[in-house]
Chain A
Amino acid sequence: MVGQILFIFIAVVTLLMALGVVVARNLFHAALFLIGVFFGIAALFILLEAEFLAMAQIIIYIGAIATLIVFAIMLSKGMMGRESGAYNKQWYFAGGAMVFFFGLVSWLLVKMPFKTISAQVPNDAIQQIGSGFVGHYVVPFEVASVLLLVALVGAIMLARERNS
């Protein structure tokens, strides 16, 4: 019961934050709303008793990605402080597309047979994640490493100053 109320509350706040990201006229404020969204998602993970995921969510999405986004805004010429309008002449195209995709996703959600398990989260969940990384899921684990390497190389190639 309390869990339900908490879930609804957190979900509503998260959605409002997400709305804020879209309608905020200042890019920096949009980024701040995005941080709120990430926090809401972390709180939802806590409700699911997935504490490792919640912390990873905060560390990676707020500590790293959001900082990167804020930073990118701070570094972009003409982006900082510019109040870009929320609408332009083609807003009805976007509106139509939005309604269509919302319908599509809702339809999928209704049709999709969700499997629910009522099992308790084991006490050594983090340990199981760890053994999973190097056991059953070792290929994705190593591929993730290669992906990070590619990201690093790409970042260096892009951000390197041209004249060097």
Chain B
Amino acid sequence: MDLRALGESFIAMLENMGIPEGWVLLINWVLGALAVLVVALLLAIFLIWYERKIAGRVQDRLGPNRVGPWGLIQPFADALKLLTKEDITPDKADRITYNLAPIIAVFHILMLFLVIPFADKVVGANINVGVLFLMAFGALGTLAMLMAGWSSRNKYALLGGFRVVAQLLSYEIPVGLAMLTVVMLRGSMNLNTIAQGQGGVFGLGWYVWILPAVFVLYFVAALAEGERAPFDLLEAESEIVAGYNIEYSAMKFAWFYLAFFLNTWVLSAVAVTLFFGGWQGPFAAQLPILGVFYFFLKVFIMFFVFAWVRATFPRLRIDQMMSFCWKALVPMGLALFLAVAIVLKLGLPSAATNALLFIVNVVILFATLKLLGNYTKDLSHNKNKRLFAPELPRL
């Protein structure tokens, strides 16, 4: 059942058939790429059902329940419908950019799947700069939304595009700082290596126990990166209708939709890999297929939390959101980075270091919460703001 052994025996089989080595490598790559692609697409279809079901349950509804058992076939029906819908391109739109935007959106999200370790060494590309790869191609998504917002030549879309920059760019910094702290603890940017370092019985080696505040930082920033409530201002339907993808219909809209769901999944998968031990679990070392199971289990639990938060919290105002990022999360991230660096260099035995890291994390987390609480209670800086006198949001 070892997936790697399976792949190696397949390569050996091809070589025995007399195919030159270069071509065997190419075939291997194409098959690997197709496997990742299929996994990503199946996931997207399942995630739509999963999220709708969660949202339904949270809001005391049933969710999809008509097509197939428990509505499981619903996303397929939706996909089929979107596939056959008429595609409308506004006459005023900038056609090249307009059509390129959904392609870039899908491209960037599929690329992210390459570096996620599903089990020990079962990873598309086991590169040493995995974390940077995530940041690099994650940033491409921002660009796709910006392109969509600009090229539609629609006021709402353009406003959505501006909000994309304001929100996604800003929250990339806390995400990067959280990743940076984990990288520093492990001394590697390879996601597989990071997950490997979190062994131990009952998940005691998970970094979430050592760096709880870093996880909170990552999670909150990831909510914003995934355009999820309470940070879904990009597509705030009550303000800008649908945001950057307002003029998109049929399959092009479907691609944005897919990118949105897969983005949340990737953010959950990264959270699991960085903080919850990735594929680690009982007997995962003996039976690699169990690792895949544990990994997906953890990611779906994490995704559930994302969906739960989305279905529960109301939306923030844009000024609150920006202040929250730059005045709370970024200083918190920098403080955590410095504190963790200093504690790691104290030269204590590893158990004492871990305990001290935990204490430092908790202290910083509560200090941030306390300062935030004081800040929101103190209304003096809110004098001319919309807190008491709502006014129309300015462009």
Give the distance in Å from the alpha carbon of A35 to the alpha carbon of B85 in the complex. 32
Are A51 and B146 in contact (CB-based, < 8 A)? no
Contacting residue for B133 out of A2, A32, A55, A126, CB 8 A: A55
Chain B residues closer than 8 Å to A51, beta-carbon distance: 127-129
* Smallest CB gap from A52: residue in B: B129
| Residue B379 CB within 8 A of the other chain | no
Q: Which residue of A lies closest to B137 (CB)?
A: A58
- Taking CB as reference atom, which chain B residue is nearest A42? B136
Given contacts A59-B132, A62-B139, A63-B140, contact A70 B150 (CB under 8 A): yes
Of A28, A55, A62, A71, most buried by chain B (CB within 10 Å of CB) is A55
Q: Do A126 and B146 touch (CB < 8 A)?
A: no
Residue pair B129, A59 in contact (C-beta under 8 Å) = no
B residues within 8 A CB of A29?
96-97
Q: Could you tell me if B146 and A63 are in contact, using CB atoms closer than 8 angstroms?
A: no
Main secondary structure of the interface of A (DSSP, over half): helix
> What is the interface size of chain B, counting residues whose CB is below 8 A from a CB of the partner?
30
Count residues of A near B (Cβ-Cβ below 8 Å).
24
B158 A74 Cβ-Cβ under 8 A: yes
Contact B189 A126 (CB under 8 A): yes
List A contacts of B140 (CB < 8 A): 58, 62-63
Is B201's beta carbon under 8 Å from chain A? Answer: no
Closest to A57 in B: B136
Question: B143: CB under 8 A from chain A?
Answer: yes
Is A28 in contact with B165, judged by CB distance below 8 angstroms?
Answer: no
Are B136's CB and A63's CB within 8 A? yes
**B100 within 8 Å of A (CB atoms):** yes
- In the complex, the chain B residue whose C-beta lies closest to that of A29 is B96
Instruction: Give the contacts of B119-158 with A (CB-CB under 8 A).
Output: 127-129, 132-133, 135-140, 142-143, 146-147, 150-151, 153, 158
Q: B162 in the interface, Cβ–Cβ < 8 Å?
A: yes
From B128, B135, B172, A126 is in contact (CB under 8 Å) with B128
Q: Does A64 contact B (CB under 8 A)?
A: yes
A74 close to B150 (CB less than 8 A): yes
A24-64: CB near B (< 8 Å → 1, else 0) gives: 00101100100100000000000000011011101100111
Contacts of B135 in A (CB 8 A): 55, 59, 63
Kindly state whether residue B161 has any CB partner on chain A within 8 Å.
yes
Is A103 part of the contact surface with B, judged by Cβ < 8 Å?
A: no
Q: Is the CB of B169 within 8 A of A67?
A: yes
Asked whether any CB of chain A lies closer than 8 Å to the CB of B393, the reply is no
- Closest B residue by C-beta to A59: B136
Q: Which residue of A lies closest to B151 (CB)?
A: A28
| A57-86 Cβ-contact flags toward B at 8 Å (1 or 0) | 011001110110011001000001100000
In angstroms, how far is the closest chain B Cβ from the Cβ of A9?
A: 15
With contacts A56-B132, A62-B140, A63-B140 taken as known, whether A70 is within 8 angstroms of B22 at the C-beta atoms is: no
Chain A positions 95-116 with a Cβ under 8 Å from a chain B Cβ: none
A133 to chain B, nearest CB (A): 14
Q: Is the CB of B165 within 8 A of A71?
A: yes
Known: A59-B135, A64-B139. A81 touches B129 (CB 8 A): no
In the assembled complex, how far is the CB of residue B89 from the closest CB belonging to chain A, in whole angstroms? 16
Neighbour of B129 across the interface among A62, A71, A80, A126, CB < 8 A: A126
Asked if residues A67 and B142 are in contact (CB atoms below 8 Å), the reply is yes
- Residues of chain A whose beta carbon lies under 8 Å from any beta carbon of chain B: 2, 26, 28-29, 32, 35, 51-52, 54-56, 58-59, 62-64, 66-67, 70-71, 74, 80-81, 126
Instruction: Give 4 nearest A-B pairs by CB, closest first.
Output: A63-B139, A58-B136, A55-B132, A59-B136
Given contact pairs A59-B139, A62-B136, enumerate 12 new A-B contacts (beta carbons under 8 Å): A28-B150, A32-B100, A32-B147, A35-B143, A52-B129, A52-B132, A56-B132, A59-B135, A66-B143, A67-B146, A70-B150, A81-B94
